[in-house]
Amino acid sequence: MEKTVNHKAWFLVLPVLVLVAFSAVIPLMTVVNYAFQDTFGNNVFFWNGLGWFEDLLASDRMWNALGRQLAFSGIILAIEIPLGVFVALNMPKRGVWASVVLVLMSLPLLIPWNVVGTIWQIFGRVDIGLLGYTLNSMGISYNYTQNPVHAWATVVVMDVWHWTSLVALLAYAGLQSIPDAYYQAARIDQASRWKVFRYIELPKMMGVLMIAILLRFMDSFMIYTEPFVVTGGGPGNATTFLSIDLVKMALGQFDLGPAAAFSLMYFLVILLISWVFYTVMTNLDKRG
Amino acid sequence: MQSRTRLNGSTVVITLYLLFLMLPIYWLINMSLKTNSEITGTFSLWPQTLTLRNYVVILTDPSWYMGYVNSLIYVVLNTVISVAVALPAAYAFSRYHFMGDKHLFFWLLTNRMAPPAVFALPFFQLYSSVGLFDTHIAVALAHCLFNVPLAVWILEGFMRGVPKEIDETAYIDGYSFPRFFVRIFMPLISSGIGVAAFFCFMFSWVELLLSRTLTSVAAKPIAATMTRTQGASGVDWGVLAAAGVLTIVPGALVIYFVRNYIAKGFALGRV
């Protein structure tokens, strides 16, 4: 759409600007403030320069958490995106059954995150959970509270359970926008199922899939509540992702300086990767 | 013949997927209807002695059910605020070019990318210092951090689909901007407003970290109340499960109303 140049449009954006400035800029400035200062208590602060950043970059703690975080986001993207597309391809197109499927699929998305954690914490327990009990009676000594591999598997399966529907719904929305004529043309050309997917469905889904990848990346990179409820970051530090580590530092140990420096770097990493996705996305938007 | 076998294959895939989604939820409902001795003592696929005791505990104890009321209050407050401020901004982004519009739009989105963990501590200090700690409005405002950008994004997507000629015709007919916006434009994008409201509701409802950090007693959300079940005598599994089931209900209700738009909404109005 052609847009008119109108600088008065700023007035329409003003309420949002004021509100977001209050709830984002002021708190963020506090973080910046702490990141460069040190204190011995009593609200007396002195300049510490880049000290906290140097400490953090030299210690293993943040690097390990970042590594775990990248591994986690990578794994769940590798599972959820293909699985979501596969589910979307098999979803019924119309009718009552389609509505039922849509509502049931959306259900996990609307469960409070700590309840998601609780559900899987119970489900995986060896004594009272269906999953843990069944696995153990099949002779697999599954125990997510002690075995790091099992803890990872549980957290990953939980995330797949929680969010694959989002990817599927997005891909489904993309598929719905393909006119029937495309499929008819493909049938006349005797295109194989794979070719229909590769040359018709996939290109049409690209735009929404980018949104799916962007959303899933951002949210998985900030994940806190669900793994915290299920494993508490353990066993050991096996599932201590960036947010869990940060909250431990900021609200648990009240290490304001390091926590603030940690926050800033954390935010910058997300910002950087998201910016790449966003640029790709807007370019796709332009191509239509 | 070929289309029939393919249809059956699809049904199998979807059924299996739904089964995977529903099993853990079923297990929670199953547990919420059992007595605690049955939960820990025996392993049963359905309740042997059906009991509603766990639900009675929650629905008769104010410290429990007030958790739901508190959550609903700040969620509704947040939804109203977010949509109200996002509407004019989304209109500006969808209709006009203005100085710095692209940067502003991306900056708004960065707030959706901000990890709540980064903001937990500064929010706590900010709202404590202005005397808003432990109020519903504090949580509602804090959730605006990620809901306002999302609402702007969704609404902008829907507004793009409305032809600009409608605006121009209305202005020629002598409508003032506010009157045009409320009388003509808002009804046109009512489904978009519904979807945006739904998403604000959803993300405010499922968030725990900020709402827990900003409240202690008076505005304590249900999600934080649930940690109470870990008592000295072990975990009250039955009540925990019942509380969990009750948190699913509001989501299931609102989802029913937007079921036809939900896919488009998740695509942020960009399909």
pLDDT score, position A160: 95
Our measurement of the distance from residue B100's CA atom to the centroid of its chain's CA atoms, rounded to an integer in Å, reads 31
Residues of chain A contacting residue B207, judged by C-beta atoms under 8 Å apart: 112-113
Reported CATH class of domain A58-287: mainly alpha
Backbone conformation region of residue B176, classed left if phi is above 0, alpha if psi is from -120 to 50, else beta: beta
User: What is the mean pLDDT of the segment spanning B139-165?
Assistant: 88
pLDDT score, position B1: 40
- A 10 A CB-CB count for B97 gives 15
pLDDT score, position B233: 63
- Closest-CA residue to B32 (of A227, A128, A100): A128
Q: Which of A2, A13, A113 sits opposite B206 (nearest CB)?
A: A113
- pLDDT tens across A191-235, in order? 888 888 888 888 888 878 887 888 888 889 888 888 888 888 778
Would you call B237 and A128 a contact, using CB atoms and an 8 Å cutoff?
A: yes
Q: Which of A 252-271 lie inside 8 A of B, CB atoms?
A: 256, 259, 263, 266-267, 270-271
Six-digit token string for A9: 């449009």
Would you call A107 and B255 a contact, using CB atoms and an 8 Å cutoff?
A: yes
Most confident residue range from A92-101, A122-131, B114-123, B174-183: B174-183
Task: With a threshold of 0.85, tell me whether the complex ipTM lies above it.
Answer: no
- Among chain A residues, the shortest Cα distance to B20 is held by A161
d(CA B248, CA B71): 13
Six-digit token string for A33: 């403030």
- pLDDT tens across B109-127, in order? 888 878 888 888 888 888 8
- Among chain A residues, the shortest Cα distance to B45 is held by A130
- Closest-CA residue to A162 (of A128, A232, A115): A115
d(CA A98, CA A92): 5
Q: Please report where in the chains the tokens 């900020």 appear, as a residue.
A: B210
- Closest-CA residue to B216 (of B144, B132, B121, B133): B133
d(CA B98, CA A118): 47
| A45-47 vs B96-97, strand pairing mode | unpaired
- pLDDT tens across A122-142, in order? 888 888 888 888 888 887 888
- A 10 A CB-CB count for A18 gives 11
Q: How far is B233 from chain A (nearest CA, A)?
A: 17
pLDDT score, position B98: 86
Cβ atoms of residues B148 and B108 within 8 Å: yes
Q: How far is B130 from chain A (nearest CA, A)?
A: 12
- pLDDT tens across A52-87, in order? 788 778 788 888 888 999 999 999 999 999 999 999
Whether A38 shows a pLDDT value over 80: the answer reads no
Cβ atoms of residues A179 and A59 within 8 Å: no
- A 10 A CB-CB count for B232 gives 4
pLDDT score, position A85: 94
Whether A43 shows a pLDDT value over 80: the answer reads no
Q: How far is A11 from chain B (nearest CA, A)?
A: 9
Would you call B267 and A173 a contact, using CB atoms and an 8 Å cutoff?
A: yes
User: Hey, of A20, A94, A134, A274, which one would you mutate to test binding to chain B, going by the most B CBs within 10 A of its CB?
Assistant: A20
Query: Between chain A and chain B, how many beta carbons pairs sit less than 8 Å apart?
Result: 278
pLDDT score, position B2: 46
Would you call B119 and A243 a contact, using CB atoms and an 8 Å cutoff?
A: no
What 8-state DSSP symbol labels residue A22?
I
d(CA B50, CA B53): 9
Would you call B145 and A20 a contact, using CB atoms and an 8 Å cutoff?
A: yes
- pLDDT tens across B236-259, in order? 888 888 988 998 888 888 887 777
| B234-235 vs A45-47, strand pairing mode | unpaired
Percent residues over pLDDT 90 in chain A: 13
Mean pLDDT for all residues in chain A: 84
pLDDT score, position A158: 94
Q: Please report where in the chains the tokens 């100085």 appear, as a residue.
A: B99
Cβ atoms of residues A212 and A284 within 8 Å: no
Task: Tell me which H or E stretch contains A4.
Answer: strand A4-5
Q: Please report where in the chains the tokens 């809901």 appear, as a residue.
A: B147
Query: Of the given ranges (A180-184, B3-7, B20-24, B192-196), which has the lowest mean pLDDT?
Result: B3-7
Six-digit token string for A43: 């609200």
Does residue A39 sit at the B interface (CB-CB below 8 Å)? no
For residue B264, name the pLDDT band (cuts at 50, 70, 90): low
- pLDDT tens across B69-101, in order? 999 999 999 999 999 999 999 999 988 888 888
Most confident residue range from A270-284, B84-98, B150-164: B84-98
Whether B211 shows a pLDDT value over 60: the answer reads yes
Residue type, B64: W
Whether A40 shows a pLDDT value over 70: the answer reads no
User: What is the mean pLDDT of the segment spanning B175-201?
Assistant: 88
For residue B198, name the pLDDT band (cuts at 50, 70, 90): confident
pLDDT score, position B269: 58
d(CA B271, CA B265): 9
pLDDT score, position B77: 95
pLDDT score, position A75: 95
A286 three-state secondary structure: helix
- Closest-CA residue to A13 (of B246, B34, B107): B107
For residue A8, name the pLDDT band (cuts at 50, 70, 90): confident
Q: What does the DSSP assignment read for A89-127? A: HHS--SSHHHHHHHHHHHGGGGS-HHHHHHHHHHHH-TT
What is the total residue count of chain B? 271
Sequence-distant (≥ 6) Cβ neighbours of residue B183 within 8 angstroms: B175
Does residue B22 sit at the A interface (CB-CB below 8 Å)? yes
Side-chain-side CA neighbours of A6 within 13 Å: the count stands at 14
Would you call A92 and B14 a contact, using CB atoms and an 8 Å cutoff?
A: yes
Where does B60-266 sit in CATH, by number?
1.10.3720.10
- pLDDT tens across A161-200, in order? 999 998 998 888 888 878 888 889 998 988 888 888 888 8
